[in-house]
Structure 1
């Protein structure tokens, strides 16, 4: 399987999607730098491996590799396309997680 190997804070992440897009994104919202790693396959299934705040001395090492599928990091969150009720539950879980993060940050 071809995909990305990323080392972040001493941990290796193996991320890939057999047919679709895999993304490693750095965002800056409200002066908070975040590292996001996710993928979406051609059927609309979604996988998220990480979402972490970034700090000044963080080091990120990324390489594109051919690795055994058994090394693939288990997603923190995934959404498999099934039906509308599943979609609504998934969106609600994302909302709840983001709400908790904002409350923890004092918003």
Structure 2
């Protein structure tokens, strides 16, 4: 599942850059439930979920659920990223932030 892979990638990215305080949000409630060990994930996602759980437990990262309406800026960023080559490493310009307005 793409959301699980994206969450794992994002948490590893933060860990590799030495971030101490990380709060990950997802609009996929089941992912939050699986990460918090309230339910067992499907076997196809079990390895990725366990890796996420290790990162969360070891590094003290937080994962929480947010409603889809609150996640629209992240959805827009994801959609915009499909046309990019490389990645952003600096704060976006004000014009770019206007694009994210929902």
TM-score by length of 1: 0.27
TM-score by length of 2: 0.28
